Structure 1
Amino acid sequence: MRLGIHLPQYGRAASPDAIAQVAARAEGIGLADVWVSDHLVYPADQGYPASYLFDPLLTLGWAAAATERIGLGTSVMVVPQYHPLHLANSLASLDQLSGGRLTVGAGVGWSAAEFSALGQDFHTRGARTDEALEIMRLVWAESPASYQGYHYQFEDIKVLPQPAHPIPIWVGGSSQPGYDRAAAVGDGYQGLSKPPEEMGKIVSDIRAQLAKSRPEAEFTFSYRTGWDPQGMDPAQIRDERDRYVEAGVEHVVSAPWRTDADAWTRSMEMLVDVVEPELVTP
């Protein structure tokens, strides 16, 4: 199992120094990647997530500047809240500036109130995401590019720079359309809040779809969790690790519960000892 860590991008732990410190230490101990969340606005009566959240791509750019080789990931970008050409340019720029280290976790979002505040249709978010993923891959590979979809259309448009490497897109989601989207167009799937047995069923179903439609596809199954050895029994974490591995999970992103950078770093270091992941050496 490969292990990534969520950066202290949100809540009381979040600060420029904390982000840089955790990113640099994560690279130093050999973690696979560092990750961020994405929300643009926060309805006052919405209890989740934390309303204090640095912009995800600016945060990853800051982390990239503090490191040299560790992977960078979004968990997940709420794709339909952005114009796909804007998002394509931002992601490609980050990939170029970081030397080809980006993985994009992509989802459709879940908060109708957030979409309303942004003046966007909540009910078309899935269809717009499908077109957006097509558009991003198109403009990352062709220049100029043209596209005629139901929601987006353009002719002979250049979106430069293009990425430094083929950016993997790991589709997130907690419903059948998300699982189908991952199987149809994703380079991976990232789950959240799924017990191992349910995650195993998702993995099995996606693999079955891949075997029929894209048997040669390189595909990663990832899971985001809240493992934190300073607040959980290490034996429970090890047990969950074994069960997720048995379910087919190959990569985990953990988000500690800590409220300052030193404690966040300590949880990360302890987690390496508990999980015993595959580490990246220079």
Structure 2
Amino acid sequence: MKLGLRLPQRLGVDLRHDLVEAARTAEAAGYASVWTYEQLLFAETPLEPYAPPDVPWPESGRQTADPLAVLTAAAVVTQEVRLGTAVLIAALHTPVQLAKALATIDQISGGRVVAGLGAGWSTDGLQATGATRADRGPFLDETLDVFDAVWGPDPVTFRSPRVIIDNAAVLPKPVSKIPVMLAGGASNLGRGGSSKAMQRIARRADGWLPLLTTPGPAGAAELRANWDRIREMASGYGRDTSRMELVVVGNVTFTDRPAGPDRSAFVGTLDQVMDDIHTAEEAGADELIVDLNLQDWFTNTSRMLETAVKIRERA
């Protein structure tokens, strides 16, 4: 299993210097990829909690630097790591401009972009761009359709409720096909269930970007069952599942003492986090994204990178 590292975007980060340092350090340490995430704004009185039932939004979220700008900076100072988004919220973007931006970064990087997308959930961010919660799924599907069209041969002709392209060149094109990963899903897939999100992944995506939330053998079994179900559905759509990737996201929160048996995955000491990394591997993950953005000390990028290097060496 490969490891990826989320890049610094949060409050207190020196965007002029820390992005370059983090990208270069990640590549030198042997990380296979670097990733960005998206949060458009920070509402003083949010319409939804950060996580159910009432987890507050972390203060670090007052700044989340633009994910595509951060990825461009990483592209310029690295040579080999993949450059991923985990995730972009489709409804926050106009599809043609997003497709063009991703293709441009892919050209700058020599073909290293991975486009991770999600439907989103924060009403505050959605309404700032003129979208609603009801738009999330349809706008994501439309974005995927636009990617297929404008990343294909010119001239492009395409029509959807928001997008009309009539016999036009849309350049640049990606170096090659940009892998499109999708987030989202439901916990009951291992018992034979399905969801609209999982059906979309099975039908259209090059891979799945789930969170690992349950530690230990139970978490590995649940994740493996869900992934098996996705690939079973994908096979039913006539797709080649051997080319699909499982890239797990690990949102790390370190504690001074070992967390108890009811802890969430990636919450605890370094030893417990290492156990969770192995849990993702046991579940069949092709790659794990190590996200240290939740740490208060992440504003000290040097300390964050020391920990990131230590995790890579121990893994």
Query: Normalising by structure 1, what TM-score?
Result: 0.91
1:224 to 239, 244, 249: 249
Cα pair 1:14 1:260 within 8 Å, conserved: no
Residue 228 of structure 1: CA displacement? 6.5
Instruction: Answer yes or no: is 1:166 the counterpart of 2:177.
Output: yes
Identical pairs, percent: 27
Cα distance in 2, alignment partners of residues 139 and 119 from structure 1:
23
Distance 2:32 2:255 in 1: 21
Structure 1 residue 241: Cα displacement: 2.4
| Equivalence map 1:1-282=2 (5 Å) | 1-46=1-46, 47-48=56-57, 50-175=61-186, 176-195=195-214, 196=219, 197-217=221-241, 218-227=243-252, 232-256=268-292, 257=295, 258-275=298-315
Conservation of the 8 A alpha-carbon contact between 1:179 and 1:202: no
In the alignment, structure 2 segments of 5+ residues that lack a partner are 47-55, 187-194, 257-267
Further displaced range: 21-30 or 229-238:
229-238
Q: For the Cα contact (< 8 Å) 2:212–2:280, is it kept in 1?
A: no
Unpaired segments ≥5 residues, structure 1 = 276-282
Q: Is the 8 A contact 1:18 1:260 kept in 2?
A: no
- State the one-letter code of the partner of 1:265: L
Distance across 1 between alignment mates of 2:168 and 2:43? 35
1:228 and 1:271 in contact (8 A); partners too:
no
Greater relative contact order: 1 or 2 (C-alpha under 8 angstroms, separation 6 or more)?
1
Contact 1:76–1:106 at 8 Å: present in 2 too? yes
Q: How far off is 1:143 after superposition? A: 1.1
Shift of the 11–199 alpha-carbon distance from structure 1 to 2, 3 Å rule, reads farther
Deviation string for 1:190-216 (max 9, x for gaps)? 012532243223212101112222342
Map Cα deviations across residues 221-261 of structure 1 (whole Å, 9 max, x no partner).
01111247786433312322232222222211111122211
CA distance in structure 2 between the partners assigned to 1:228 and 1:270 by the alignment = 15
Amino acid at match of 1:259: T
* 8 Å Cα contact 2:277/2:288 also seen in 1: no
User: What do you get for the CA RMSD once the two structures are aligned?
Assistant: 1.9
Q: 1:278 maps to what in 2?
A: none
Contact 1:147–1:154 under 8 Å retained in 2: yes
TM-score by length of 2: 0.82
Query: How many residue pairs get matched?
Result: 275
Aligned to 1:223, the other structure's residue is in SS state strand
Task: Show CA shifts across 1:97-156 (max 9, x none).
Answer: 111110010111111121112222320220121111111121111211112234433321
Alpha-carbon distance in structure 2 between the residues aligned to 1:18 and 1:230: 24
Once the two structures are overlaid, the 10-residue window that deviates more, 200-209 or 173-182, is 173-182
